[in-house]
Structure 1
Amino acid sequence: MTSADAAVDSRRHRPAGRIRRRVRAIGLGALSALALVVLGFLIWANTPYRAERGPVIEVWANGDVEVQYLDEGILMTPAADAIDLPASPTGLVFVPGARVEAHAYMLQLSGAVDEHGMTVLITEPTLNLAFFDTRTLDQFTTAAPEVDRWFVGGHSLGGVRACLMTPGAEVEGLVLFGSYCANDLSGAGLEVLSIAGENDALSTPAIIDQNAGMLPADTRFVTIAGANHASFGDYGPQAGDGERTITSAQMRAELTVLLGELLD
């Protein structure tokens, strides 16, 4: 091959080499961008709204409530010597809202335990997001095999997940805190209690009303005056929420009465 032929051959292969390098650079750039998105998501998911310390300590100090940390979640049961236990124990599997620590719901749900003898299991979803927890209801109820009747419920996105857990499950009813169903349960024959917050700016009473057709016709809808979205737990203010004018103690009292009426 002459020097002229070699020069022509070199020019012929140069564009192909540049294309390969460009494709490689684009691929590496895309992978880097994807890695940053995944990293950002993991950081976001693992920085949840933290439970306030005082309300959690209050539950631990309550001699009428026993608390256990199990694989299924945080289990709260009535102390055997503190209450006349019902003949047929009732339990509630409760799913937290998106990026809210499970501990944040302990105080608000503890009234149903110490005043009505209910067993409450608060789940701890993967990445603090209910939809990443694919366990079925019967994988949670193993935490309290003595319970005869189970309800499932949740707050916000946790309530949406609770709705999805009911089909095919042995469950008596559904409890929604500032939430609604994305699947049709209108013919499910479930006993349903849907509680809204008057000042909830995230799952507003209007949005809950718009989705009421997904629930049985005899669903009980209640709106708590002065409550916002974050009032259903004890984790401080939440971005985009309305203003609350109800205290944590008042909210607990309201929820305790409503859950007690559901059991009765």
Structure 2
Amino acid sequence: MIVAAVVAFLVWANVGVMAAEPEALAAVESDPAVTLTDEGSAWVLAPAEGGSDTGLVFIPGAKVEADAYAATLVGAVQDGATVVITKPTLNLAFFDLRPLSDFTALAPDVMTWAVGGHSLGGVRACQLAEDADALVLFASYCANDLSGSDLPVLSIAGSEDGLSTPEKITESAPLLPADTEFVEIDGGNHAGFGAYGPQAGDNPAAISDEQIRADITAALAPFLLAL
């Protein structure tokens, strides 16, 4: 029975994994302003010219391939940040027990690091936040209490999110520092935080994916570069 349960779980973890939309990923790969490098354990998005002082270790949502977030995060890289997108074990952040340093080591010239993630990836990012200089939540919230820390925190959410709903974001806010910056994208939904297509349980977005990504960049890039 134990073997059968393990096999069933492995099948579940690998079925229904949401892949990057080809056109969105191709646009990042062809962008002369950035480089996208597969480092095995993670994808590294970096400015093509000049170094970065600030970086973000980004943890994907459950059962979403890591490169599906390249189109979401490329705007911050174009503005000068480096982003390391982790490849969680079994595509589930909670099964990835590697320390933050395993990923920051992939961009050794970066001195200041934020950690963040989408959905379940954001929950995991909260657990790693004590080893980072800042925390960024993408349609996500913490399960552990960081309210007593002086960590800079940015929370970006969507008004139409059917999974990490505005109500859930509000209910979990007391777990974050009092000066947390909350940004709600009017018309944004849950799946709009990546480029992997629609997601079960989500609501339709009232704005385009391109607008959601632009709004994410408008909040994320200044936050990172001010660290």
Could you tell me the TM-score, scaled by structure 1's length?
0.82
Match of 1:228 among 189, 205, 226: 189
Match of 2:32 among 57, 60, 63: 63
Aligned residues: 224
Query: What residue identity is the alignment partner of 1:110?
Result: V
2:192·2:213 contact (CA, 8 Å) conserved in 1? no
Question: What is the rounded CA distance, in whole Å, between the counterparts of 1:65 and 1:212 in structure 2?
Answer: 34
* Residue 120 of structure 1: how far off its partner (Å): 0.2
Match of 1:165 among 118, 128, 138: 128
Which residue in the other structure is 1:106 paired with? 70
Query: What residue identity is the alignment partner of 2:215?
Result: E
Match of 2:168 among 207, 211, 221: 207
Runs of 4+ in 1 over 4 A off after TM superposition: none
Question: What is the rounded CA distance, in whole Å, between the counterparts of 1:102 and 1:188 in structure 2?
Answer: 29
* SS of residue paired to 2:105: helix
Which residue in the other structure is 1:50 paired with? 19
Which residue in the other structure is 1:72 paired with? 41
1:153·1:159 contact (CA, 8 Å) conserved in 2? yes
* SS of residue paired to 2:125: helix
Which residue in the other structure is 1:127 paired with? 90
Query: What residue identity is the alignment partner of 2:119?
Result: S
Instruction: Name which structure has the greater RCO, CA cutoff 8 Å, separation 6+.
Output: 2
* Residue 40 of structure 1: how far off its partner (Å): 2.4
1:72·1:143 contact (CA, 8 Å) conserved in 2? no
Is the helix fraction higher in 1 or 2?
1
Matched, 1:142 2:105: yes
Question: What is the rounded CA distance, in whole Å, between the counterparts of 2:198 and 2:213 in structure 1?
Answer: 17
Query: What residue identity is the alignment partner of 2:149?
Result: A
Q: Deviations over 1:27-56 (max 9, x none)?
A: xxxx2xx44432222112112111111111
Question: What is the rounded CA distance, in whole Å, between the counterparts of 2:5 and 2:199 in structure 1?
Answer: 23
Could you tell me the TM-score, scaled by structure 2's length?
0.95
* SS of residue paired to 1:238: coil
CA RMSD of aligned residues (A): 1.2
Q: Unmatched 5+ residue regions in structure 2?
A: none
Q: Deviations over 1:88-146 (max 9, x none)?
A: x10000000000110110001000001x2000000000100001100111111000010
Q: Deviations over 1:193-231 (max 9, x none)?
A: 001111101110110110001100000111101111101
Matched, 1:152 2:105: no
Query: What residue identity is the alignment partner of 1:79?
Result: A
Query: What residue identity is the alignment partner of 1:140?
Result: F
* SS of residue paired to 1:71: coil
Identity %: 53
Query: What residue identity is the alignment partner of 2:75?
Result: G
* SS of residue paired to 1:166: helix
1:113·1:120 contact (CA, 8 Å) conserved in 2? yes
Q: Unmatched 5+ residue regions in structure 1?
A: 1-30
* Residue 249 of structure 1: how far off its partner (Å): 1.3
Q: Which has the larger radius of gyration?
A: 1
Match of 2:8 among 29, 40, 44: 40
